[in-house]
Structure 1
């Protein structure tokens, strides 16, 4: 049985050699401006943890359970985040900026119903991810692959899909006013309208 870690505070860098790296269950831990690097926390559980202005670099956080944990201005770079249900985290306290993901893999995850505003998913693989009923005003999906991801009743006002690929967004069932799309990929938006393009 894993040791349950009680309320503790950290402000140092944490890598695979840190004592916490061997614990799969973190509870009531607070991290401020910490850099997490090359951690394998796949199938772990974070319960009531707080991450203030933290960076995660080259970490495997697949299938991680985020039981009421909070992320304030978190940045994820080159991380594996397969199957993460982001709705399990506590987003009611909005301190700092929405999360930023760069060169990450977020396949098979869920952001269902979350209001994450200007979340950034840059050059990421975002396959089979649920954005249903999410509010993503000014979100940035630049350069990301969005194959089979679901947008329904999603607010994408002023979102940026420049150089994003593979998305299927029904403009009748989502708010896309002032959103930006690359010319070629934007043709896919017409598919839901039953419009056929010919040369």
Structure 2
């Protein structure tokens, strides 16, 4: 337990304006809690659990999520830059709306049916992950790397800026829209005229 929290378990608690930048939060469980306008920038979040929690207008940029459990977590209007989501422990289920996910890494994760709405992913990467049935609704994927992922039935129909190498990802029945879908042909050394 850290000195920033009095208990090691919190349920139905609202945290507003909490600033834990550059701090360590360890071995604390949060259930059905909300975090509004909180800063976890550069925070070491170690062996914690967040179940059915909401983060709104929070800054978690460059936070370290070591062995931390996230299940039914909703991030709305949050800065989540530079996070390695591969360090999350156990089941991982989250929704992202109007978030900045630039330079984040999603390696070897089950992100099946994840929902990303109005998010940016500049310089982010998805590697060896299951993104089947995931939705990227009105997301900016400029400079985002997709390598060795399962994108079966993923929905990119309103996403833009993506460059997905179809030879390195499984894209069976994934949804795309024109004109953005033309970028899927870039790695075939062909001319479209």
Distance change in 2, residues 1:155/1:7 (3 Å): farther
**Whole-angstrom distance in 2 between the partners of 1:170 and 1:184:** 16
Q: Secondary structure at the match of 2:179?
A: helix
State the TM-score, normalized to the length of structure 1: 0.90
Equivalenced residue count is: 190
Counterparts in 2 of 1:176-191, with a 5 A limit? 176-191=171-186
**Native 8 Å contact 1:6 1:28 kept in 2:** no
Q: How many angstroms does 1:126 deviate by? A: 0.7
Q: How many angstroms does 1:15 deviate by? A: 1.0
- Which residue number in structure 1 is paired with residue 58 of structure 2? 59
Deviates more, 1:7-16 or 1:38-47: 7-16
- C-alpha RMSD over aligned residues: 1.7
1:177-196 Cα offsets, whole Å, 9 max, x none, are 11111121001101112222
Q: Secondary structure at the match of 1:111?
A: strand
List runs of 5+ in structure 2 lacking aligned partners: none
- Which residue number in structure 1 is paired with residue 91 of structure 2? 93
- Equivalent in 74, 97, 112 of residue 107 of structure 2: 112
Q: Which has the higher strand share?
A: 2
Q: Secondary structure at the match of 1:99?
A: strand
Counterparts in 2 of 1:1-199, with a 5 A limit? 3=3, 8-11=8-11, 12-16=13-17, 21-22=19-20, 24-90=23-89, 92-93=90-91, 98-198=93-193
1:81-116 Cα offsets, whole Å, 9 max, x none, are 1101111111x236xxx2110000000010011112
**Whole-angstrom distance in 1 between the partners of 2:168 and 2:29:** 39
**Whole-angstrom distance in 2 between the partners of 1:4 and 1:69:** 18
State the TM-score, normalized to the length of structure 2: 0.93
**Whole-angstrom distance in 2 between the partners of 1:143 and 1:4:** 37
List runs of 5+ in structure 1 lacking aligned partners: none
1:147-199 Cα offsets, whole Å, 9 max, x none, are 1111111100010012111111111111001111112100110111222211x
**Whole-angstrom distance in 1 between the partners of 2:160 and 2:97:** 16
